[in-house]
Chain A
Amino acid sequence: MNDPILRFLIVDAVALLLLGAGTSLLPQAICGLLTATLCGLSALLCLPPLFSHAPAAPLSVPVGPPGLSLHFALDPLSLFFLLNLFVAGTAVAAFQSTVVQPARIHPTAWCVAGTALSLLAADGVAMVIGLAVTCASAGYRGRRLPMLAPALLLGAVCLLTPSGYAPRFDAIRAAPIDSDHATAAMVLTVAAVGALVWPDNSERCWTRDALTAGVLIPFSSYLLLRLIADLSAAAAQPWWGALLLLAGGAGSVVAAWRAAALPDIDTAIAALLARQAGLAVIGVGLAMTARTADLPAAAAFALDATCLTALGTSLAGTLLSLSAHTIGTSAGTYRLSRLGGLVHAMPGTSAALSAGLLTASALPPGLGFAALWLSFQSILSAPHTGGVLSQLPLALIAAAIALSAGLSTAASLRVVGIAVLGRPRTPRGAGAGESPSTIRAILLLLAATALLAGVLPGPLLRLLADPSIDALTSLPPAQGFGLLSLAGASPGYLIVPLLALLTLAVGAAWRVPRQLRKPAKPAGPWTDGMQPPIGLPFGDPAAQSSGAGFLPALPEIALPRPPPLPSLPRTRISATFPGLWLLLAGFAALLLALAVVG
C-alpha cells in the first residue's frame, strides 16, 4: 500500500512547488485553498500506513546527473513528521487564503513542498534539496540565518557518506562510519537545527513565523532523529549525549527567558516556540545517553518526549503564531503594553491563544507537561554510572528542564494576563474586533486538537510515534493502547483519571458556593479604592501591569569588555530571491563533494 501513497506524496510535493511558483497566475485565495486541500489530503493519506505499520517502500526517481537518482521512502519516522507537517500546512494555507497579502511566491506551498521532499528523502541529496527549498521559502523576507542550514546539512551528509558510495541512507546505515566524521556530522546537524529555528526579529512576517513554528521546528526534530539517532547511531560516542544535553538545555532556558522578557506578543511567542527546539535536542541527547549505555527503555522515554514536543509544536506553534497575527492586526499593535482586554473584544481568538499557550507551556493537562514528565522519566531511567563528571550533565539538564518549564509558565501567564485579560490600554486596542468566522474556526479547531492531544498523549504516541521509536530503539512493539498512562509501567502519568478528579473538584468548588451565594450587584471597575482620575471614569488603564516585571532581576556581573574587532567587509546578496542561488550552489557543492570522495 505504501507505493501508491509514496508516489502520491511526491507528486503532491511537486504540485505544491508548481502552485507556489504560479501564485501570480492564480488569485491568492484560490492558491491558498488549493494548498490547503493538497495538504489535507496528504495528511489523510499518511494515516493508513501509520496505523498499519507497513514496512518502508523505497522509490528511485531518475533525476540528476547520469548514474545518480533521487531516492525516496516512507518509513514510520517520516510518516509521523509528514503528518505533523501536513496538518500545520493545512492550517497555515487555509488561514492564508482568508487574508490578502501580496507575495512573489506562495511561501506555505514551497515550505511544505520542500519539507515534504526532505521527509520523504532516502538519500542525502534529496534531503538537502528539500531543505534548500524550505529555507528559501521560510527565509524569504529578511531572515538569512536559515540559509546556512542546507550548507551545514550538506556537510553532515557528506561526512556520513562512506567513501565510494552514493549518500543513500541504507548505505550509510550499513557501512562503518569513522567516529570523527560522525562527531563532526553531529555538530553540523545541531548547528543546522540552530540556524533553522532560532528566531530572528529583523522583520515582522507572520507567514514566516507560522511556518517556522508549525513546520521548521518539528522538522528540526526529524533532522536530529534521522541524522543523529538513526544514521550516526552506530558510531555514537558516549559523550555525544552530554554535548547535546548541554546545547539543548542552554537553548531551551535562553529561549524561555527571552519569551518572558520580549515586549511584543509575536516575538515572545516565537521565543517560547524556539524553546521547543531546545527540548527536542535534549530529548535526542537523553536518547543517545541511554542508547550508548544499552538502555532502550530510557531511550524510548526520551524519544517519546521528543515526538510529543514535535507534535505539540506543530499544533500549538501554528495556533499561537496565527493567533498573535490575528490579535496584532485587529488591535493595531503587537506591543504587549498596549494590548489588554481582548477577552471581551476577541473571545474566540483569546480562547484559542490560551489553549495554545497551555499546550506550549508545561502545565497539566497540556501536551507540554506530558513531554516534561517523559523527559524526567527518561532521566530517572538513564544510566547512573561513571561518577560525578559523567552524571553532572544529567543533573544540570534536570535543572534546565525545570527552569525552562518555570520560565515558560511565566511567559504564558504574562502573554495571557497582559494581552488578553485586564482592561484595554489604548483606544485602538479597545476597538479591536473579533476575527472572521473562517479564521476563528481554524484557530478553534487547532485549539481543540491541541487540547485533545494533551488529554490523550498515550494513545497518540502508541498510534503515531511508537512504530518509529521501536525501530530506533529496537524494542518490541508495546501491547494495548495506553489509554490511561503514558508509561507502560503503572503507576505513571494517568491523565484521564487525573482530569476526572480535577473536573470533579473544580466543579464542586464552583457549584457549591454558587448555591450559597447571594445575587451579585453590578459595580464599576476597581480602582484600588480611590477615585478614578479625571477624564478616565473607568480608571487609568496605564496603571495596570505592563508585563515588564515577570522575571527576577539577575545579579549584575562585571565582565571584562572584549577588544573591538576590526570591521569586516559585508557582502549583501543583491538578488531578491537568494534561495534559488543557494539551491544551485548547494547542489553544485554536493556534486563536487561526491566527485572528490569518489
Chain B
Amino acid sequence: MTFVLSLLAEILHIGLMIAVAPAAAGVTCWLDARLAGQSGPPALLPFRDLARLRRKTPMAIESVSLVSRLAPAVGLGVTLSAAALVPTFSLGMALSPLADVLVIVSLLTVARVAHALAALDSGAALPGLTQQRASALAVAAEPALMLTMVALGLMGGSFNLDLIIGQQREGILLPAAASAIVLTAVLALAFADLSAPCRDSDQAFGAIDLALVRATGWLRRLVWFNLIGALFLPVGMANAESGPFAWLVGLAAWTIKLGAFLLVVAGIRVVAGGSPRNILPDLAGVAALLALLATIMILASAGTA
C-alpha cells in the first residue's frame, strides 16, 4: 500500500510539473507587467504559444544533424527527470531514492549541454556565440551549484534530497549561518541561471522543437523554485504514505509558496530592472565563493562540535 501511495504521489507530482510549468511562466510575465503598471499578457499565453508552435510547419534544415533533432527532446526529458526527483508537496515519493542532489544538478547541466550542442550544430553565428557565452558562465555557476549541494550534503550527512529536506524540517540542518549562506548562494545562482539570455539560441529551433525548448525553460525555472522551496522552506510538505488528505494540505502549501516566489521574482525584476548580461559571471563567482565559505564553516563547525 505504501508503494502504491508513493507511486500515485509521484505520478501526481509529474503531472503537476508538466501542467504548472507553462502556467507559472505565464503568471510571471503577467505579474511583471502588472507591477510595472501595464495590463500584461494573459496568464495562459504560454499554453497558446505551445499550441501555435505545434501547428507551424517545421523546417528540415539540410546542414543540421541528428543532434539538432534529438536535442529538444533530450533537454525536455532530462529536465523532466530532474523535476520528477525534486519533491513539491510530498516526501517519500516513488523516485525519492534516486533523488541525489548531485544527480539533479548534473541533469540540469546535461539539459543545458544538449541545447548548446543543438545551437552549435545549427552552424548559425548568433546561437553559437550565445552558447559560447553560456558555457563561460556555466564554468563558474555549475561548480558553484554543485558545491552548494555538497555543503547541504555535509550538513545533512547524505546527498539524498529527501533526507536533507527531512533534516531541514526537523531543524537539525546546522549550522544555521551556513544554511543561510547556502540559501544566498542558491538564490544568486537561480537568478543568474534564469536571467541568462536564451532568445538568441532559440533561433536554432522552430515549430514543435521550439515548443519543446520553451517548455524546457519553463520546467527548469520550476525546478529551481521547487529546489529552493523544498530545501529552505519545507513547510507543509506531506509524506507520501499519509494519504490524499495530507497531500492536499501539501499542495495548498506548495501553491502558496509558488505564488509567493513568483511575486518576489516579479518584484525583484521591477525594482532592479533587467539584469545586465555582464554582471552574471560576477554573480556566479560570488555564489561560488559563498558556497566555499559555507563548506568551510560546516566542516569547521563539525570539527569543533
Contact = CB atoms under 8 A, between A and B. Distances in A.
Judge: A and B partners, yes or no: yes
Interface of A: 260, 340-341, 343-344, 362-364, 369, 372-373, 376-377, 379-380, 384-388, 390-392, 394-396, 398-399, 402-403, 405-407, 409-410, 413-414, 416-418, 421-423, 490-494, 497-498, 501-502, 505-510, 513, 516-529, 538-539, 541, 543-545, 549-553
B61 A525 contact: yes
Given A513-B211, A551-B136, A552-B281, A497 B98 contact: yes
Given A385-B302, A513-B54, 19 more contacts: A343-B65, A377-B159, A386-B303, A391-B302, A405-B146, A417-B116, A423-B123, A501-B95, A505-B80, A506-B73, A509-B72, A509-B80, A513-B211, A518-B207, A520-B57, A525-B62, A526-B203, A550-B135, A552-B281
Contact of B150 (A398, A410, A528, A545): A398
B57 to A, nearest CB: 5
Sorted from nearest, which 6 A-B pairs have the closest CB atoms?
Answer: A506-B77, A417-B120, A391-B299, A384-B302, A402-B143, A545-B128
Contacts of A517: 54, 58, 207-208
A552 B279 CA distance: 12
Contacts of B295: 395, 398-399
25 contacts: A343-B67, A363-B106, A363-B109, A364-B107, A376-B159, A384-B299, A388-B296, A399-B291, A405-B143, A406-B139, A409-B109, A422-B128, A493-B102, A498-B98, A498-B103, A501-B98, A505-B76, A513-B73, A520-B59, A520-B60, A523-B60, A524-B62, A538-B63, A541-B123, A552-B139
Interface string B197-214: 000000110011001100
Interface in B62-93: 62-67, 70, 72-74, 76-78, 80-81, 84
Given A380-B154, A544-B128, A526 B120 contact: no
A417 B131 contact: yes
A313 to B, nearest CB: 20
Contacts of A528: 124-126, 203
Contacts of B160: 491
A490 B59 contact: no
Given A376-B153, A391-B303, A520-B57, A525 B147 contact: no
What size tier do the contact residues of chain B reach? 35 or more
A413 B135 contact: yes
A544 B122 CA distance: 9
A280 B260 CA distance: 46
B110 A364 contact: yes
A526 B159 contact: no
Interface string B124-140: 11101101110111111
A526 B106 contact: no
A340 B65 CA distance: 12
A377 to B, nearest CB: 7
Contact of A387 (B60, B288, B300): B300
